[in-house]
Structure 1
Amino acid sequence: MENFELLKALFLGLIEGLTEFLPISSTGHLILFGHLIDFKSDDGRVFEVVIQLGAILAVCWLYREKIIHLVKGFFSGDAHARRFALNVLVAFIPAVVIGILAVDFIKQVLFSPIVVACALILGGLIIFAVESRQPAPKTLEATDISIKQAIIVGLAQCTAMIPGTSRSGATIIGGMLSGLSRKAATEFSFFLAMPTMLGAATYDLFRNADVLTADNLLNISVGFVAAFIAAFFVVKALVKFVEKHTLRVFAWYRIVLGSILLFIFYFLR
Structure 2
Amino acid sequence: MNWWQALILGIIEGLTEYLPVSSTGHLIVAQRMMLGDLTGQEKAAADCFAICVQGGAIAAVLGLYWPRVRQMILGLLGKDREGLHLIFAIVAGFLPAAVIGILANDWIEEKLFHFKWVAWAWLVGGIAILVVDRWMKKGGGSKGVELAEITLKMALVIGFAQCVAMWPGTSRSLMTILGGILVGLRLGAAVEFSFLLGLVTLGAATAKKAVWPVHDIAEKYDHKLGGALLMWDSYGLIPLLIGVIAATVSAAIAVKWMVGYLNRRGLGVFGWYRIAIAIVAAAMIATDFLGLGQG
**TM-score band, normalised by the shorter chain?**
over 0.9
8 Å contact from structure 2 (residues 49, 231) kept in 1 = no
| Cα deviation code 1:32-82 (max 9, x no counterpart) | 111122266541611111101101110001111221123113312433221
8 Å contact from structure 1 (residues 137, 180) kept in 2 = no
Q: What displacement does 1:211 show?
A: 1.8
* Secondary structure of 2:77's aligned partner: helix
Q: What displacement does 1:128 show?
A: 1.2
Cα distance in 1 between the residues matched to 2:244 and 2:231: 15
| Cα deviation code 1:203-252 (max 9, x no counterpart) | 11111425233425432221111100101111111111111221110000
Query: Do residues 241 (structure 1) and 242 (structure 2) align?
Result: no
TM-score by length of 2: 0.85
Q: What displacement does 1:267 show?
A: 3.9
8 Å contact from structure 1 (residues 19, 25) kept in 2 = yes
8 Å contact from structure 1 (residues 95, 157) kept in 2 = yes
8 Å contact from structure 1 (residues 137, 176) kept in 2 = no
What root-mean-square deviation, in Å, do the aligned CA atoms of Structure 1 and Structure 2 show?
1.7
8 Å contact from structure 2 (residues 126, 271) kept in 1 = yes
The count of aligned residue pairs is 266
8 Å contact from structure 1 (residues 140, 183) kept in 2 = no
TM-score by length of 1: 0.93
| Cα deviation code 1:108-141 (max 9, x no counterpart) | 3211211111100000011111222242344443
Q: What displacement does 1:95 show?
A: 0.5
**Other-structure match for 1:47:** 49
**Other-structure match for 1:28:** 25
Q: In the alignment, residue 149 of structure 2 is paired with which amino acid?
A: D
Percent of aligned positions that are identical: 37
Query: Do residues 167 (structure 1) and 172 (structure 2) align?
Result: yes
**Other-structure match for 1:258:** 278
Cα distance in 2 between the residues matched to 1:196 and 1:137: 28
Structure 1 residue ranges without an equivalent (≥5):
none
Q: In the alignment, residue 43 of structure 1 is paired with which amino acid?
A: A
Q: In the alignment, residue 267 of structure 2 is paired with which amino acid?
A: L
Q: How does 1:192-207 map to 2 (within 5 A)?
A: 192-207=197-212
8 Å contact from structure 1 (residues 137, 179) kept in 2 = no
8 Å contact from structure 2 (residues 9, 243) kept in 1 = yes
Query: Do residues 180 (structure 1) and 202 (structure 2) align?
Result: no
Query: Do residues 59 (structure 1) and 64 (structure 2) align?
Result: no
8 Å contact from structure 2 (residues 141, 181) kept in 1 = no
Q: Larger Cα Rg: Structure 1 or Structure 2?
A: 2
Cα distance in 2 between the residues matched to 1:156 and 1:50: 23
8 Å contact from structure 1 (residues 46, 204) kept in 2 = yes
Cα distance in 1 between the residues matched to 2:154 and 2:173: 16
Relative distance call for 1:194 and 1:30 in structure 2 (3 A) is same
Relative distance call for 1:73 and 1:202 in structure 2 (3 A) is same
* Secondary structure of 2:242's aligned partner: helix
**Other-structure match for 2:248:** 228
Cα distance in 2 between the residues matched to 1:114 and 1:65: 41
Q: What displacement does 1:21 show?
A: 0.6
Structure 2 residue ranges without an equivalent (≥5):
215-225, 290-295
**Other-structure match for 1:127:** 129
